[in-house]
């Protein structure tokens, strides 16, 4: 199984193990996440931030794809393989929420080696096989989760005015997604500019304050406490920024 979902990974106790924007490293329960999502539907900046994707940022035919292969040695006819695939893929929505959105490429393949000998599989055996395969698929989703990197410890740090001025400028995530870092009194703020689509991190027309938490690392002020890292070359020159440094970074190059 290859998991590249854009929503939530939920364990068997209803706890969200992975979400796009954990708070203090935690996502909470699925009930809490859904409640927060429903409460945010009227806020275009926060809606769908933690539950699914922003379709306004389409990146082609599909954005997130979970590919699953179910393999058995039972010599199943085509209709039985098809029924097994439907049952397993439907059950996977328990662990991968939401599954099979409109711009997802979620796909499941069911195959048989046909090497098992014995009586033709009965309807009861088919049901049992579907249950076992469905639970195994959920285990596979949970087993696919990599260990999360440890956040840089938060420290009380005050950057000099000169150091902050050295970080000012425009940073390109893509040709049409440019962010500006500018002064906000004695601190910094960041905002998407131009005609870029708002993202889960930044919004056009809504500057976000940056709070220094470590050397060259800031917290984007908000409920998710996303991190922004200042990237430098070997000579110490600022060359870009990285939002959400770790396993799933979002890079921007200084213009």
Q: Domain ranges in the chain?
A: 8-143, 161-254
- Measured between alpha carbons, how far is 251 from 255 in angstroms, rounded to an integer? 13
Structure tokens at 190: 């960041």
Average pLDDT over residues 129-150: 88
CA distances from 143 to 2, 3, 62, 139, 249 (A): 11, 10, 24, 6, 22
162-179 pLDDT, tens digit each: 999 999 999 999 888 899
Q: Stretch 77-99: mean pLDDT, rounded?
A: 92
Model confidence at 53: pLDDT above 50: no
Give me the CATH code for the 161-254 domain, please. 2.40.128.50
Q: Which CATH number fits the domain 8-143, given the four candidates 3.40.50.970, 3.40.470.10, 3.60.70.12, 3.30.1540.20?
A: 3.60.70.12
| C-alpha to C-alpha distances, 124 to 110, 112, 129, 131, 229, nearest whole angstrom | 19, 18, 9, 11, 56
Torsion angle, alpha carbons of 242, 246, 247, 250, to 10: -10
């Amino acid at each position: 199984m290859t998991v590249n979902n854009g929503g939530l990974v939920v364990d068997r106790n209803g706890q969200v193990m992975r979400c796009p924007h954990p708070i203090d490293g935690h996502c909470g329960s699925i009930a809490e996440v859904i409640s927060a999502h429903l409460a945010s539907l009227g806020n275009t900046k926060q809606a769908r931030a933690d539950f699914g994707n922003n379709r306004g940022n389409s990146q082609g035919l599909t954005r997130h794809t979970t590919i699953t292969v179910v393999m058995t040695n039972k010599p199943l006819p085509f209709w039985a393989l098809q029924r097994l695939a439907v049952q397993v893929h439907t059950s996977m929505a328990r662990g991968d929420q939401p599954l099979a959105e409109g711009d997802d490429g979620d796909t499941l393949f069911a195959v048989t080696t046909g090497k098992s000998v014995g009586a033709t599989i009965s309807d009861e055996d088919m049901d049992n096989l579907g249950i076992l395969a469905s639970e195994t698929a959920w285990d596979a989703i949970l087993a696919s989760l990599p260990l999360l990197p440890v956040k840089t410890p938060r420290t009380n740090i005050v950057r000099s005015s000169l150091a902050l001025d050295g970080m000012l400028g425009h940073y390109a995530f893509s040709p049409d997604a440019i962010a500006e870092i500018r002064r906000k009194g004695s601190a910094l703020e960041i905002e998407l500019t131009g005609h870029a689509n708002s993202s889960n991190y930044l919004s056009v027309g809504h500057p976000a304050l940056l709070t220094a938490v470590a050397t060259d690392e800031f917290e984007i002020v908000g409920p998710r406490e996303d991190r922004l890292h200042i990237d430098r070359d070997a000579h110490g020159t600022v060359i870009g920024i990285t939002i959400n440094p770790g396993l799933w970074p979002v890079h921007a190059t200084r213009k």
